[in-house]
Amino acid sequence: MAVKSLLRRIFTKEKKLVICGLDSAGKTTMVSFLQNGTFMEHTPTMGKEMTTMEVQGIRINLMDMGGQKDFRDLWIGEANSAECVIFMIDAYARERFSEARDELWKLSNVFKKKPLIVLANKYDLQPVAQISEIIEILDLKRLPSFEVLPVSCKTGYGIVRAFMKIYYKLTGKQLTKRLSVKGVTVFDKAGIPLTSSSNQDILQGGLFSAISSFVQESFNSELNQLKIGNHVIVFKRSQNLLGSLVLNNADNIDPKEAEEGLNELLCHLEHMCPELGSDQLEPQKIEFLLSQYASNLL
């Protein structure tokens, strides 16, 4: 073994995370969303596929297990050598819940020793199973420890919250958001606000009017930042949209990080709404997508 390779193994903390679940549950889509910040179409995973991510000094080896029947025998071997196991379930496909339960319980001996996180995927669809229903159907109360988290690996709903939980289970350390976002607004090409989301109803009254007026008056200039009272508003433009983030001025703000987060949101909206390129704007679609993705920002 080479010296440099040996040193990397000694000084790099590594954790193994395994994600199991039936075919079409959304396992590979989740891994892709974590890497790309948006939804991407994927072919089914054949066997297993490993993705490596470095997060705050921890190297996470994420093993994505194929969900077809031919590959399910591989799950237990990988799960036994992991620090944490994710089981993904399609919360919209009630007709497959019994099958998912049977496959989950084949790993029950693993869950006596390792934490289990169940990700209830496709929470962008309706009618979707509620968390209490999933706990009952999968018979999770018989396990010593589990958590069920709602996500959408297509719209991004709950992805950051879920990964923060996963990171804690893997490392015992809290992964905190470095930006405290109070509100986000998306504007069209003309600077007209399309939709907003906030965690404290902050985007009301004078502050929202001031942001909107500034955007319309300065839309063709190089927008960057604006300070209003105790808030800093960061702006970013994409090909067909413009977005703003409201941050607390008392926080230790990194403008580049704020712009990066806002740019990721706008790129996601552009990717999910290709009709924007032909000026066929669907405000209700933008509103829904923002409401889903905002869980990662607020």
Q: Is the peptide bond before 127 cis (omega within 30 degrees of 0)?
A: yes
Judged against a pLDDT cut of 90, whether residue 273 lies above it is answered with: yes
pLDDT in tens, 104-158: 999 999 998 888 999 999 999 999 999 999 999 999 999 988 999 999 999 999 9
Same CATH fold assignment for domains 11-171 and 181-296? no
pLDDT at 249: 72
Fold of 11-171: Rossmann fold (3.40.50)
- In CATH, what number does 181-296 get? 3.30.450.60
pLDDT at 58: 86
pTM over 0.75: yes
35-52: average pLDDT:
90
> How do 193-198 and 181-187 pair as beta strands?
antiparallel
pLDDT at 56: 83
Residue 1's pLDDT band (cuts 50, 70, 90): very low
pLDDT at 6: 47
Domain extent listing, the chain: 11-171, 181-296
